[in-house]
Structure 1
Amino acid sequence: MVEGQREHWERTYDEHPEMYGPEPSEPAVHAAEAFRAAGAREVLELGAGHGRDALYLARAGFSVTAADFSPVGLNQLADAAAHDGLSGRLRTVAHDVRTPLPLADSSVDAVFAHMLLCMALRTAELHALTAEVRRVLRPGGSFVYTVRHTGDAHYGAGTGHGDDIWEHGGFAVHFFPRELVDALAEGWDLREVQPFEEGALPRRLWRVTMSRESNQGLV
């Protein structure tokens, strides 16, 4: 399933380089405001795709590391950053989040991920990923992520892969029950779980904000 999803995203970005349009997502706008209020400067975006949110964060003045497992999407993002004069504030990293993040401990102020955690990731992989996010965040740093949840219209539709992962229209999605949000927040300061809708279906999602407490260690 992993390689199939990678190939599907590669084809999608190649055939539809502006599939999400130029405007940032609502969660990215919210995250920028929250990160700025917290004094963040260096931001990691996971699942950056072809970059509408990474570009927005760079335009907002953050130094952005944009990670994704699609070289096609990242090439589109790098070209857009160069065109907009943002190359000095944005770098791309090809990375599969099933493996450890290629950053040092306590090296970024904030992490943003719009619908990355609800891709075809097993629950054990999600726990490993959130532990990696906590590792690379500086004390007091924020993690804002969004996920489709089990109240979404596509939950239970299409091909089931187990672990609440359902494939519809070629895209595999891990739909989150609230219990999974709480489980991933263990060891964090869970600040907010905000429901919202996006798109024409509409997709039903949660925007989750967590922070690594200032006095926390890594274990």
Structure 2
Amino acid sequence: MSDNGQELAAGQLRHWQSTYTARPGMYGEQPSAPAVHAAAVFRAAGARDVLELGAGQGRDALFLAREGFTVQATDFSAHGLEQLRAAARAQHVDERVTTAVHDVREPLPLPDATVDAVFAHMLLCMALTTEEIHGLVDEVRRVLRPGGVFVYTVRHTGDAHYGAGTAHGDGVYEHGGFAVHFFDRDLVDALAEDWALEEVHAFDEGDLPRRLWRVTQARPR
């Protein structure tokens, strides 16, 4: 990683840590719409063990646990995961949820072919370079069992914030303290090479609204 990349990554970690500390439960207790969709996809695929990347304070990880999945939740913010664990205890699903502080720029802390499904809501479009995103998707493929499903969401280049704020290069723009890598369709297709690309669904979220793609792809058996 370049010095500029390291500085941006460190700044984003500080920003998310302080945001989670200042705003516990900032996304509410209800799961995101992509998580509800992912649960149905995972159930249809016969999945039991789910890895969530960028779980944050845990609204989606907790929902998946309540739906009966065993969830491994990772995030680079220890503060977010502390809140997740407390909520898991309060909701009596702590036996189905484990957490790990992890930066997705590093290899995933799991052996090969050990999870049935992976979920990542707005994680791939954080302050990551295109090379780092490709490396992460390769890691997702490595830890998925054959036939395993990966559901992720990203903000795309049709979003109102694309091109706004501070430009960091490689499709990354910082707005309001949050750095986002905006995806074009070519990047989605490139990340699906050697996968079975099942769906690319466009949707809106929030008040702006944010414009996203929900991508579903499977590791071939």
Q: TM over 0.5, yes or no?
A: yes
Q: How many pairs does the alignment contain?
A: 214
Structure 1 residues 59-101: Cα deviation after superposition (integer angstroms, max 9, x where no partner):
0000000000000000000000011111100000100000000
Give the alignment's TM-score, normalised by structure 1: 0.97
Aligned partners of 1:84 and 1:55: how far apart in 2? 8
Aligned partners of 2:35 and 2:25: how far apart in 1? 17
Aligned partners of 1:184 and 1:33: how far apart in 2? 23
1:55 match: 62
The aligned amino acid for 1:150 is T
2:3 match: none
- 5 Å matches for 1:188-203? 188-203=195-210
The aligned amino acid for 1:60 is E
- 5 Å matches for 1:2-13? 2-13=9-20
**5+ residue gaps in structure 2?**
1-7
The CA RMSD over aligned residues, in Å, is 0.4
- 5 Å matches for 1:1-219? 1-214=8-221
1:217 match: none
Give every structure 1 segment of 4 or more consecutive aligned residues whose post-TM-superposition deviation is greater than 3 Å: none
Aligned partners of 2:17 and 2:166: how far apart in 1? 21
Following superposition, the deviation at residue 126 of structure 1 comes to 0.5
Structure 1 residues 129-173: Cα deviation after superposition (integer angstroms, max 9, x where no partner):
000000000000000000000000000000000001000000000
Aligned partners of 1:89 and 1:188: how far apart in 2? 29
| 1:125 alignment partner, SS class | helix
Among all aligned residue pairs of Structure 1 and Structure 2, give the percentage whose two residues are the same amino acid: 69
Following superposition, the deviation at residue 18 of structure 1 comes to 1.3
Aligned partners of 1:83 and 1:7: how far apart in 2? 27
| 1:166 alignment partner, SS class | strand
The aligned amino acid for 1:195 is A
| 2:215 alignment partner, SS class | strand
Aligned partners of 2:33 and 2:153: how far apart in 1? 11
Aligned partners of 2:193 and 2:164: how far apart in 1? 30
Give the alignment's TM-score, normalised by structure 2: 0.96
The aligned amino acid for 1:67 is T
**5+ residue gaps in structure 1?**
215-219
